[in-house]
Amino acid sequence: MSDWFAFAWANLPALLHGTVYTLEIWVVAMLGGFVAGWVLAVGRVYGDPISRKLATGYIELIRGTPLLVQMFIVYQGLPQIGIVFSPLVAAMVAIGINTAAYQAEYFRAGIRSVRPGQLAAGRAIGLTYIQTIGHIVLPQAWRIALPQWSNEVIIELKYTSVAFAISVPELMGQAKMIGADSFKYFQIFLVAAMIYLVLVSAVTLLLDVIERRYALRQ
């Protein structure tokens, strides 16, 4: 047991270094996906027929193909047409593209769930259509989508681990390298799993606080 702790302790700096990459990929991908997700959701609900089809096509394409395939297309496919990303940036772009589609669907469901009377009330006080969407529908859609969105945030935190496949030295990548050097795969993956668990628990607590704050305001 003390061997185990000594091994974990000795490799903790490398794993934590990897965790920094994990968090970087996650934050950038989630923020990018958040902005793109809203654009797609609004385009799909309120857009003209062409934007609706484009948004729907994007969402179906991304949801219909594996994240790993998307990531290899970004990292190894795009260089053939002259677009070259570092492994870290490629992981951010690929996971961002992926989560955008899922976030868009949660936001769209939120928009659809806002009661029609809210829109009528906004128009009745003289707000324009655009103002009503911006000040009333989208803020309410966000609150409705929040529980589903929280789920997506947590899932994506764990999905950053696929970035090891394009040689990003994030948490999973570091664990794999340490395992290959030491042959202590079982031990090192357990430590990595515990770090993921701690990260997810912290994020879950934070999301709970946010959800509680908004609970009254739906």
Partner 1 sequence: MTGSATQLMRVSHLTKRFGEHTVLDDVSLDVTAGEVKGIIGPSGAGKSTLIRCLNGLEPIDAGEIWLDDTELTARKADMDALRSRIGFVFQDFNLFTHLTVADNLMLGLRRVRGLKRAEAETIARRELDRVGLAEKWRAYPAELSGGQQQRVSIARALAMQPELMLFDEPTSALDPESVGSVLRVMRELVAEGMTMIIVSHEMAFIEAVADDVLFMAEGRVVEEGSARQIFHEAREQRTRGFIDGIAAALVGEADDPGQAR
What stretches of 47-170 show up as alpha helix (H) in DSSP? 49-63, 67-72, 87-113, 116-124, 129-132, 138-159
**Taking the CA of residue 190 as centre, how many other CA atoms within 13 Å lie in the half-sphere pointing to its CB?**
9
Does position 35 interact with partner 1 (CB under 8 A)? The reply is no
How far is it, in rounded angstroms, from Cα 175 to Cα 114?
Answer: 45
Does position 124 interact with partner 1 (CB under 8 A)? The reply is yes
Does position 111 interact with partner 1 (CB under 8 A)? The reply is no
Query: Between residues 77 and 139, which has the closer beta carbon with respect to partner 1?
Result: 139
Which residue in 118, 167, 182, 201 binds partner 1 (CB under 8 A)? 118
Does position 125 interact with partner 1 (CB under 8 A)? The reply is yes
Instruction: Evaluate whether 154 touches 148 at the Cβ level (below 8 Å).
Output: no
- In 3D space, the residue among 148, 63, 135 whose CA is nearest the CA of residue 99 turns out to be 63
- Could you tell me how far CA 70 lies from the centroid of its own chain? 14
CB of 49 to partner 1, least distance (A): 21
Does position 210 interact with partner 1 (CB under 8 A)? The reply is no
The single-letter code of the amino acid at 5 is F
Query: Between residues 1 and 130, which has the closer beta carbon with respect to partner 1?
Result: 130
Does position 113 interact with partner 1 (CB under 8 A)? The reply is no
x-marked contacts with partner 1 along 129-168 as a string, rule CB under 8 A = --x---xx--xx--x-------------------------
* Phi–psi pair at 36, nearest 5 degrees: -65, -35
How far is it, in rounded angstroms, from Cα 24 to Cα 95?
Answer: 12
CB of 132 to partner 1, least distance (A): 10
Does position 184 interact with partner 1 (CB under 8 A)? The reply is no
CA dihedral (13, 18, 19, 23) in degrees, to 10, reads 150
Does position 43 interact with partner 1 (CB under 8 A)? The reply is no
The single-letter code of the amino acid at 201 is S
CB of 106 to partner 1, least distance (A): 17
CB of 209 to partner 1, least distance (A): 18
Residues that bind partner 1 (CB under 8 A): 115, 117-118, 120-128, 131, 135-136, 139-140, 143, 216-218
